């Protein structure tokens, strides 16, 4: 395309360099806040940790190749996060146990891989966006008397904006701190995006990296996670794309990915056919024809999950529509559209599927910024300031209401949801929250007084606002979140009941106990449940409604030895039963 018709309008001052220490600082705050010193939460968070613990507890190594939760076959995703997490626990848990109890040391160590996944994500997004941003197609309009940014400065500005936008994406902030497959899957999709961008000028290294990324995605979440990335990687090699001359290298990438997948699948199929059969059934049965309720849920939830990047991603596609097959639009567009298409053919769609749209939406949004008018960019700055100032104030107001009783209605609503919680204040956490709030005020003041011309200013405000809100949540509200979402307390109650009532030689089996609950009992108290029908002890998961109407009864001969629940849960109930033989 003729550069004189480009929709990008930019001066050199708009691409002034963003401070590297500042970018590293906010990235570090993003991933470290809320990662450690908390309980694993239901459900995916604790399930991932349970597979790691099980892999270490089984001496024959079976749970490494075929992930399990105790004796329960967890034949759903893949073994990669189990491998990396188990290695981290094996290497570092004993070090943390000098300072915390044994199982808490394993919990802390299990979250160290999140630093790796986050590092892959940020590096891949930055370098992939930089490679696309310095190409000739997205360069801004040449000004009559000069003053347009250099190719290097422009590419760096796009890359910085893409990283800031991924940090500002609301939906993934919680997920990036879980010991689940989601952080790893996002990271490997970002790595695949970088590999495709690299393949344009260095096809060999790009193909090798792409093959590793695709194979790792398969080992992370099976076909559900890998197929959208694989199909997107194939379709970026379009005849009208700049990648078309390098299409032969796609076979190299697919061959590497296939070899990685088979290197795991063949031994599993031979050694653990039952596990392999269930894994295949779970993956194949997860696909279905488009359902109306699935479509409605996507339309309802996805805009909130991808906020604030999706409106800018759509603007990028519109403003650059004449450059659709240019790599800076076509590559992220393919990585965006195929996860969306895949959602239409899944029986159940939620955040793990939405997460595959975060990276390409952020990259497209970064390329929309140079096409926006200055008034639009300024209005977006003010929106970020108002929105995140309001969310930060709301977090503080709720905390004040919880601890002081004012405002009374807010206090009543919070205590109703946290029934049984003993209110306490951690002054170090309050101090950190105050520092974070002061930093946000300083960032807003910088925007108001300095009036920077840099195009990344709005993305800095959005990323800083979300990080501030997240920091306030995980400092001021962490005890409450643990109380509401953790099974530590009820696990301790069950362990005490088993020590009191379990006779020598007895075993305990489960009845209707969910995967997340089963994983929690294993992680917190090392309680596993047998499949032996001769077990006379039964842990039953039921509801208070079922207890009231009598539908929870197991049998006339069952004796209730213990009954308990989480304090914040209004309905869930656990019962330890003994049946006579």
Kindly write down the DSSP assignment for every residue of 391-428, as one continuous string: HHHHHHHHHHHHHH--SHHHHHHHHHHTTT------HH
Same domain, 507 and 552: yes
The answer to whether residues 565 and 419 belong to one domain is no
DSSP 111-151: THHHHHHHHHHHHHHHHHHHHHHTSSTTPPPPPTT--PPPH
Give the tens place of pLDDT for each residue, 105-122.
Answer: 999 999 999 999 999 999
Q: In the predicted model, what is the mean pLDDT of residues 190-212?
A: 97
Domain identity same for 230 and 333: yes
How confident is the model at residue 49, as a pLDDT? Answer: 97
Same domain, 388 and 361: no
**pLDDT of amino acid 130:** 98
Q: Which of 427, 462, 485 is the last residue of a domain?
A: 485
What whole-number percentage of the chain has pLDDT above 70?
99
Q: Is residue 110 part of a domain?
A: no
Q: What percent of the chain has pLDDT over 90?
A: 82
pTM of the model: 0.96
Please indicate, yes or no, if residue 332 is contained in any of the structural domains: yes
- The verdict on residue 219 lying in a domain is yes
498 part of a folded domain: yes
Token pair 């990296």 in the structure block, residue: 209
Specify the pLDDT at position 2. Answer: 45
Closest by alpha carbon to 169, among 312, 350, 19? 312
| 462 and 493 share one domain | no
Specify the pLDDT at position 556: 66
Per-residue pLDDT, 419: 87
pLDDT at 468 over 80: yes
pLDDT grade, residue 414 (50/70/90)? Answer: very high
Q: Alpha carbon 515 to chain centroid distance?
A: 19
Question: Span 162-178, mean pLDDT?
Answer: 97
End-to-end C-alpha distance for the chain, whole angstroms: 82
Same domain, 478 and 511: no
Helix residue spans in 477-514 (DSSP H) = 478-485, 488-501
Residue 254 has pLDDT above 70, yes or no: yes
Q: Are 275 and 66 in contact (CB under 8 A)?
A: yes
Residues 6+ apart with CB under 8 A from 313: 306, 336, 360, 361, 364, 365, 368
Number of domains composing the chain = 3
Same domain? 187 vs 219: yes
- State the virtual CA torsion across 268, 272, 277, 282 in degrees, nearest 10: -70
Domain assignment of residue 446, yes or no = yes
The verdict on 157 and 228 lying in the same domain is yes
* Residue 374, pLDDT score: 84
Provide the domain limits for residue 529. Answer: 488-578
- How high does pLDDT run on average in the chain? 93
- Distance (Å, whole) CA 238 – CA 6: 22
Q: What's the pLDDT score for residue 500? A: 94
Last residue of a domain, one of 455, 485, 515: 485
Residue 142 within any structural domain of the chain: yes
Q: Is the pLDDT of residue 525 over 60?
A: yes
pLDDT for 61 equals 86
pLDDT over 60 (residue 346): yes
Residue 179 lies in a domain: yes
Give pLDDT, residue 581: 67
Same domain, 346 and 428: no
Residues 480 and 520 in one domain: no
CA proximity to 79, closest of 68, 65, 89: 65
Q: How much is the pLDDT for 326?
A: 96
Q: Of 485, 503, 522, which closes a domain?
A: 485
- 369-389, pLDDT tens digit by residue? 999 988 888 888 889 999 999
**Domain assignment present for 83:** no
Q: Assess whether 141 and 200 both reside in one domain.
A: yes
Do 284 and 431 have their domain in common? no
**Predicted local confidence at residue 141, as pLDDT:** 86
Question: Tell me, what's the pLDDT at 420?
Answer: 86
CA distance 28 to 202: 31
């Amino acid at each position: 395309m003729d550069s004189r018709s480009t929709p990008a309008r930019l001066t050199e001052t708009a691409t002034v360099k963003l401070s590297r220490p500042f970018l590293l600082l906010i990235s570090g705050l993003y991933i470290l806040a809320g990662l450690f010193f908390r309980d694993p939460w239901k459900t995916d968070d604790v399930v991932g940790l349970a597979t790691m613990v099980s892999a270490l507890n089984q001496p024959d190594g079976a749970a490494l190749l075929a992930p399990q939760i105790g004796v329960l076959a967890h034949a759903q995703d893949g073994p990669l996060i189990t491998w990396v997490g188990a290695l981290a626990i094996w290497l570092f848990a004993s070090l943390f146990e000098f300072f915390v109890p044994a199982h808490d040391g394993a919990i802390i160590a299990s979250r160290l891989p999140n630093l790796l996944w986050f590092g892959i994500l940020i590096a891949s997004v930055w370098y992939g966006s930089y490679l696309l941003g310095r190409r000739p197609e997205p360069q801004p309009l040449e000004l009559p008397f000069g003053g347009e940014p250099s190719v290097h400065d422009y590419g760096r500005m796009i890359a910085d904006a893409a990283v800031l936008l991924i940090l500002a994406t609301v939906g993934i902030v919680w997920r990036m701190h879980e010991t689940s497959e989601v952080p790893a899957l996002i990271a490997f999709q970002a790595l695949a995006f970088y590999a495709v961008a690299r393949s344009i000028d260095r096809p060999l290294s790009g193909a090798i990296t792409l093959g590793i990324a695709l194979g790792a995605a398969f080992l992370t979440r099976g076909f559900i996670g890998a197929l959208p990335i694989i199909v997107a990687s194939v379709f970026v090699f379009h005849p009208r794309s700049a990648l078309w001359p390098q299409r032969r290298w796609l076979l190299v990438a697919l061959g590497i990915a296939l070899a990685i997948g088979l290197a795991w699948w063949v031994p599993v199929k031979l050694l653990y056919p039952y596990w392999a059969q269930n894994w295949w059934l779970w993956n194949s049965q997860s696909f279905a024809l488009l359902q109306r309720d699935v479509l409605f849920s996507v339309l309802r939830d996805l805009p909130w999950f991808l906020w604030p990047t999706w409106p800018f991603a759509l603007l990028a596609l519109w403003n650059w529509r004449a450059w659709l097959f240019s790599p800076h639009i076509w590559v992220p567009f393919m990585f965006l559209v195929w996860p969306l298409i895949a959602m239409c053919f899944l029986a159940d769609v939620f955040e793990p599927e939405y997460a595959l749209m975060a990276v390409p939406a952020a990259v497209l949004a970064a390329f929309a910024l140079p096409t926006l008018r200055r008034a639009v960019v300024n209005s977006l700055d003010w929106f970020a300031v108002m929105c995140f100032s309001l969310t930060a104030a709301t977090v503080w107001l709720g905390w004040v209401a919880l601890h002081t009783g004012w405002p009374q209605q807010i206090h009543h609503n919070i205590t109703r949801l946290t029934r049984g919680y003993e209110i306490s204040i951690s002054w170090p956490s309050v101090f950190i929250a105050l520092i974070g709030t002061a930093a946000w005020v300083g960032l807003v003041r910088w925007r108001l007084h300095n009036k920077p011309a840099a195009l990344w200013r709005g993305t800095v405000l959005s990323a800083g606002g979300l990080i501030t809100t997240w920091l306030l949540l995980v400092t001021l509200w962490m005890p409450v979140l643990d109380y509401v979402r953790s099974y530590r307390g009820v696990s301790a109650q069950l362990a005490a009941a088993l020590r009191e009532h379990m006779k020598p030689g007895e075993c305990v089996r489960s009845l209707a106990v969910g995967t997340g609950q089963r994983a929690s009992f294993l992680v917190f108290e090392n309680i596993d449940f047998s499949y032996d029908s001769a077990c006379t002890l039964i842990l039953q998961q039921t509801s208070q409604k079922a207890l009231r109407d009598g539908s929870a009864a197991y049998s006339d001969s069952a004796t209730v030895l213990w009954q308990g629940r989480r304090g914040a849960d209004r309905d869930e109930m656990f019962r330890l039963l003994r049946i006579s033989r």
